[in-house]
Amino acid sequence: MSINIIVNLLGQIWVGLMAILFVPTYVRYLGSEGYGLISFFAVMQGFLGLLDMGLTATLGKESAKYIGGSYTKSAIKDLIRTYEILALVIIVTAVMVTTLLSEYIAQNWLKASSMSINAIEQAIILMGILFSVRFLEGFYRGIIIGLQEHLIYNIINATFATLKWAGVLVVLEYYGGTAKIFLLWQIIITLFLVIVFRKFVNIKIPNPAINPKFNKIYIYKNWRFTKGMALITLSVFALTNIDKIIVSKFLDLTTFGNYNLIITISVVLTIMTAPIAQTLLPKLTQNIAGRQIKEYEKNFNIGSQLIAATAGCVGILIAFYPAEIFYIWTNDVILSKKLALYLRIYCIGTVFNCLLVMPYLAQLAKEQTLLTVKANMVTVIILTPALMYFVSEFGLMAAVMVWCIYNICSFIITPRYAFKNIDDLKLLNWYKYDVIIPLILPICILAVSKLIPLNFENRIYALINLSVLGALAMISAVISCTSLREMLSRSVKRNKIPYLSNE
């Protein structure tokens, strides 16, 4: 297994743990409506993220090419400076848009019973500022990941994640449990993180003798990929946020906060998938650039099986034991029982969503974006009116059902077209060896566990039991994965940690 994947996985787990672990405490400090308002930031960030226009993805790709020798130091610094200027235009636009719309959103969109309109309006303006600093954070993060400086990135990111999510509890305790205080703390810590990231980028790519300058040729040169990524960003935003937008419009802030709790647990799967994608996209891009087709296939198979063995197994565990996991997290028996079915359905959809990551990355490595855009936009056109009707009629259940059904359909339909664009890989082999076979034993183990009387009444015993079941599921998945098993076998024989091949 690649040391970079291990580093990224540990880093993402820590960051995710910080973001998820304290959510029940945030709810206690902020109240249900306050937490619902904070949850609305995810929707705001999605809207404002459309201003990115593929910029950060382009920077990551070009930084990977730089370490492959495609850019001189002077050229890559000119490219970064060009996109820095574009980034400044984007963040100024974001703050202006948010400020102008804050009154309308506070008065006409969000349904609050205990929070004042003025408090909501102020929070929305702060959300625009927070988006701006997070956008810059993502800007420099893309460069660092493209440079494949995974260890330093994860150390910095984990440190600041601890300050963001654990440190805010101290601030809420001493300065008041309000959404305004929460957002101000996030802005301050993220701003310091941006400064650290930018300093690290300048250390890895020092300024040449001639100061970097804006050069529009880099915009033209990368326009095709940037445009494709911008369209993907638009379509992915629509797919992943249309449910939140509609839930926030038709249901009250308390229900919207509950919906976000369901999403937050399911985000664990994305946390486990992200480091694999983060490590493999530069590798796949490098393989394609160097015409290393065998290595490209090998890395694709390893990535697919890793996702099945990690995110797939954890997702199945959550689907089998949703109420128990909710109880461990929140220590609220009533809420756990109330939201268990919603979590099960939503999590099943998220598993299918994670399994599609590698076909998506394989296309990006070849700079093919059109299929993803077309598929996402067609889905949005169909789902938006359906969601508006069903959520208004049937509430929260409609939102989780639509998410689940959409991802199952995507898993069945999308790969048929995706693999035509990545003709070095075979669709049926991916379904069989990278998805189905790795998940058979974990499903059997967890199904049998439901027949065994385990103690879930105590949170500690519940945590121990689920940890053991999760570990058994993952081990059985790894044993079933041909590429992973072969890689581990070679590693033992050579008595060293294996790296993803990039020969």
CA 152 – CA 156 distance, rounded (Å) = 6
Closest to 161 in 3D by CA, of 9, 7, 5, 16: 16
- What global pTM score does this model have? 0.68
Mean pLDDT value across residues 330-345: 89
Tokens matching residue 404: 């689940």
98-108 confidence digits (pLDDT tens)? 888 888 888 87
Mean pLDDT value across residues 81-97: 84
pLDDT given for residue 503 in this prediction: 41
One-character DSSP codes across 242-296: HHHHHHHHHS-HHHHHHHHHHHHHHHHHHHHHHHHHHHHHHHHHHHHHTT-HHHH
Cβ atoms of 186 and 164 closer than 8 Å? yes
Range with lowest mean pLDDT among 24-28, 148-152, 218-222, 470-474: 218-222
Instruction: Give the Å distances, CA to CA, from 451 to 38, 60, 147, 320, 445.
Output: 40, 48, 49, 12, 10
Is the pLDDT score of 498 beyond 60?
no
pLDDT given for residue 58 in this prediction: 73
One-character DSSP codes across 439-482: HHHHHHHHHHHTTS----SSHHHHHHHHHHHHHHHHHHHHHH-H
Is the pLDDT score of 499 beyond 60?
no
CA 28 – CA 331 distance, rounded (Å) = 12
pLDDT given for residue 501 in this prediction: 45
Q: Across the chain, what does the average pLDDT equal?
A: 80
Within 13 Å, how many C-alpha atoms sit on residue 281's CB side?
23
CA 487 – CA 503 distance, rounded (Å) = 15
Dihedral in degrees, nearest 10, Cα atoms 49, 50, 55, 57: 70
Percent of the chain at pLDDT > 90 equals 15
Is the pLDDT score of 358 beyond 90?
no
Tokens matching residue 55: 């910029």
Mean pLDDT value across residues 415-431: 75
Tokens matching residue 170: 């101290």
Residue type, 134: R
Residue 313 or 70, more confident: 313
* Nearby residues of 445 by Cβ (< 8 Å), 6 or more positions away: 469, 472, 473, 476
Task: Give the helix/strand (H/E) hosting 321.
Answer: none
Within 13 Å, how many C-alpha atoms sit on residue 446's CB side?
26
pLDDT given for residue 229 in this prediction: 66
Mean pLDDT value across residues 49-60: 66
Is the pLDDT score of 216 beyond 90?
no
Cβ atoms of 288 and 296 closer than 8 Å? yes
Residue 500 or 155, more confident: 155
pLDDT given for residue 207 in this prediction: 74
CA 13 – CA 15 distance, rounded (Å) = 6
Instruction: Give the Å distances, CA to CA, from 79 to 135, 216, 242.
Output: 18, 9, 34
Residue 368 or 363, more confident: 363
Count of residues making up the chain: 503
Is the pLDDT score of 301 beyond 90?
no
Residue type, 413: I
For the chain, the structural domain boundaries read 1-221, 224-496
Is the pLDDT score of 495 beyond 60?
no
